């Protein structure tokens, strides 16, 4: 199913500036991994480069970037510091979704768009709950929005709330208190009363995403900030339907974790060239066995690049693949990225798992690719059903 093509625009940054951006972000990546703090300085860098409003349309001050250019930037950010990239992606996807322009109150949407174009306006959608889990698997949230005389009061808990302590806006997935509840998003100012951020994010990797629990207790929000409420059945995906938001999610997640694997690959190449065992008299990079294994890494990353780039370029021409195909790209690219970094550990032994080197951090980060919805079982079952349909 074709969509309207995205009008091409001049690429945002040349390759040398993207490489410099990667290096600048990489310089503090270890510190953010150890502290688990929100990477505020990184977003100051991105604002300086004019990159936060990358997908905002030009009439609102953005650059109107499509898939290919946006993923190029996102990959460079992820290669430097991937938690920053994951938080950034939420704002990119938000402004890339065309339905915002039709369903949201236009003045409110344009306010957020102009903020992003000016270097702020970071937004995250909070959907996951302790009991429900991810709504991708179905079910209504416990988080409820109750009507008041002047707006809404929101109560409930959200977990894995990426960007929690550093966002400018929360988009909260909730149901209303109507006899026949509506379901959808309400915009919330993080400075509103009745919000508690519980600092419980202490995960294996991607630690600077600050994906803490956020608790809302009668949190007020204006009536007009119930920006997209619909009957629950309207949120159900149509099987096989082309969906730009699905593709943004699939390609962005694939790109972020591919960026981690490429950072690991570059460090490994330097290590293998610089490591000269005394009994060998030459670098490890000269050994055929090492060259063979490194060739496996190159092959895995080449497949990733081909899958991601071809889908992005096609989508920019208006040819968005069905959800099954988009999610298979994500699944395959993430598995390839994990395997690429694992080969690096195989080649390095103890140095690879020492915190004195970044490879163990890259491995911890890349393993987090497995938890992003839709997860492997959902992706493969959907693909299997589609393939078995005669």
Mean pLDDT of each 10-residue bin along the chain, 390 residues long: 46 84 98 98 97 95 95 98 98 84 85 96 95 72 96 97 98 95 96 98 97 98 94 76 81 98 98 93 95 98 98 94 95 98 97 95 98 94 93
Residue 364: asked if its preceding bond is cis (omega within 30°), the reply is no
In the prediction, which pLDDT does 292 show?
A: 98
In the prediction, which pLDDT does 137 show?
A: 62
Spatial separation of the C-alpha atoms in residues 312 and 84, rounded to whole Å: 21
Spatial separation of the C-alpha atoms in residues 217 and 220, rounded to whole Å: 9
Q: Which residues pair with 357 in a beta bridge?
A: none
DSSP code for 287: -
The dihedral built from the CA positions of residue 365, 371, 372 and 374, taken in this order, carries a sign that is positive
Domains detected in the chain: 15-121 (1.10.540.10), 125-235 (2.40.110.10), 244-388 (1.20.140.10)
Numbers of helices and strands, H then E, in the chain = 12, 8
In the prediction, which pLDDT does 103 show?
A: 80
Spatial separation of the C-alpha atoms in residues 260 and 361, rounded to whole Å: 9
H/E element, 124: strand 123-126
End-to-end Cα, the chain, rounded Å: 20
In the prediction, which pLDDT does 116 show?
A: 97
> What 3-state DSSP class applies to 362?
helix
In the prediction, which pLDDT does 6 show?
A: 47
Whole-model pTM?
Answer: 0.93
Between the CA of residue 194 and those of 221, 225, 253, 386, what are the distances in Å?
11, 17, 32, 45
In the prediction, which pLDDT does 75 show?
A: 98
In the prediction, which pLDDT does 1 show?
A: 40
Residues 353 and 345: beta-carbon distance below 8 Å: yes
Residues 246 and 326: beta-carbon distance below 8 Å: yes
């Amino acid at each position: 199913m074709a969509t309207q093509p995205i009008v091409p625009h001049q690429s945002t940054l040349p390759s040398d500036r993207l490489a410099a951006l990667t290096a600048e972000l990489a310089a503090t990546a270890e510190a953010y991994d150890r502290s688990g703090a929100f990477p505020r300085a990184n977003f100051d860098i991105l604002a300086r480069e004019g990159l936060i409003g990358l997908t905002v349309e030009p009439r609102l001050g953005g650059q109107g970037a499509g898939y290919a250019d946006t993923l190029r930037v996102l990959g460079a950010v992820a290669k430097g510091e991937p938690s920053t990239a994951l938080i950034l992606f939420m704002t990119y996807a938000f402004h890339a979704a065309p339905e915002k322009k039709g369903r949201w109150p236009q003045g409110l949407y344009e306010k957020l768009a102009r903020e992003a174009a000016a270097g702020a306006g970071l937004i995250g959608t909070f959907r996951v709950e302790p009991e429900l889990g991810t709504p991708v698997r179905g079910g209504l949230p416990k988080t409820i929005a109750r009507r008041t005389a002047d707006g809404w009061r929101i109560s409930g808990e959200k977990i894995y709330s990426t960007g929690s302590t550093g966002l400018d806006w929360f988009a909260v997935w909730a149901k209303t208190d109507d006899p026949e509840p509506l379901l959808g998003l309400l915009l919330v100012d993080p400075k509103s009363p009745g919000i508690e951020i519980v600092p419980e994010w202490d995960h294996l990797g991607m630690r600077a995403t600050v994906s803490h629990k956020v608790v809302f207790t009668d949190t007020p929000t204006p009536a007009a900030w119930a920006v997209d409420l619909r009957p629950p059945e309207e949120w159900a995906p149509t099987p096989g339907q082309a969906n730009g938001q699905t593709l943004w999610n699939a390609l962005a997640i694939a790109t972020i974790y591919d960026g981690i694997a490429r950072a690991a690959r570059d460090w490994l190449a330097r290590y293998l060239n610089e490591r000269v065992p005394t009994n060998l008299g030459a670098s490890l990079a000269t050994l055929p066995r090492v060259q063979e294994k490194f060739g496996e890494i190159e092959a895995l990353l080449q497949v990733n690049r081909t899958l991601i780039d071809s889908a992005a370029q096609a989508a920019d021409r208006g040819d968005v693949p069905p959800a099954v195909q988009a999610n298979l790209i994500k699944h395959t690219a993430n598995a390839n990225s994990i395997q690429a970094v694992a080969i690096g550990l195989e080649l390095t032994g103890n140095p690879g798992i020492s915190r004195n080197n970044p490879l163990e951090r890259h491995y911890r980060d890349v393993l987090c690719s497995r938890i992003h919805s839709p997860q492997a079982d959902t992706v493969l079952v959907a693909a299997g059903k589609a393939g078995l349909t005669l």
